[in-house]
Structure 1
Amino acid sequence: MNQATREQAQHFLRQDERLVAACAYELGPGVPYPPESLLAPPEPPALSRRIEARIPRPLRQFVHAKALDPRLSRPAAAAEGVDRLPDAVDALGSRLLHGKSMEGGWESEAGRFLVSRANARGSVGGVLAVTDRRWFALTDVSPLWRSTPVMRQYWEVPRQAVSALRAGPRGVVQKGRMDIEFTDGSWVAVLASPASAARPFAEASVHHR
């Protein structure tokens, strides 16, 4: 286990909780991005909030009009669908090359994992950790100009919610591939970083059940 990764996870432990293992990771190729309609609006940066405070109220109301929200507007939802078309093509290509990368809908445990991750709006990589009580995941939400990571926890489930973590699943050739399998039958593919960390992390998560 990388010491820096372990230290990042340890900052989020609760009282009397014991860290079993932690692994740096990113999503596997072809894992879909959740629809914008399922995501919370991004929090505006401090500068944007100060500028918005100076805008006349009627104009602010127009900017935040529901007609621009794909969750509440059919035209906006249709536009979102067009914007997501290239993503669908990329996902198809990744699936043909790397195999399936997710099972389950957005209401499944795998789907909720991805929605929580997208809502955090963090870095591409992150940290996946397992303790004697739960699984949780972190992402770096620091601005690009900042060299020191600012980790935020965006997801957690009880240990019992994950039925297996399979390193190097049969039929795929991706180095470092791990499939997080949930008890509801859903799963999602991630890649360990470095790839050599996948099997030790998977074995540690099983041996300490």
Structure 2
Amino acid sequence: MQRFKSIDIFRGLCMSWMFLGHLIGWWIKPEFIWLESLAFSIFDPIGASGFLFISGVSMALSYRNRTYRVDVVKDISYSRVKLSYYLRASFLLIIAIIYNLAIAITINNLSWIWTWFVLMTAAFSLIIIWPLFKVSKMFRIVIGFSIWFVSQFIYNILVPFQNQENLQGVLYHILFNDFSQDPLLLFFPFFLIGTVVGDVINEII
């Protein structure tokens, strides 16, 4: 598959901003807090949302290339492609959990083992997207916007139960902890729309 340098560059920018954003949050002095707000208002769109979007683009291009090899070149089997895909997603999920565990131990709060940092969101996005590659681009767009809008209502229903030890509190923790990070319901649509763009690029080239 032909590599697009622009995709790699944009993904690098997204990762750089996410890293820099954390450093700003940790190290900035109180008198310069306005600078943090300004920086986030300008660059935050190329953070987690941009990273997941461009990851969706890249994943769609990779998927179409591999299915071409399965159907046309016939040098690889579909089951092997699927196994490789899910192994990659599982490996990323393990890395995400290790990262979350390190954060939880650092802040002495084990509830943060289940936190929607971008790595865990990306891992679950990879796991979920495979069957959706078989549906049309328009249907994926509809699914993406539907998930995003419905998630707003779910959040408003569950947020009053945050940190409570009941069913609603558990559901909030599973779906939205930590809301200031990158919850799957809110950020998976960016990944999903990215796969649509990736398919469009694949058709053009």
Q: TM-score, normalised by structure 2?
A: 0.29
Structure with greater strand share of residues:
1
- For CA contacts below 8 A with separation 6 or more, give which structure has more relative contact order: 2
Q: TM-score, normalised by structure 1?
A: 0.28
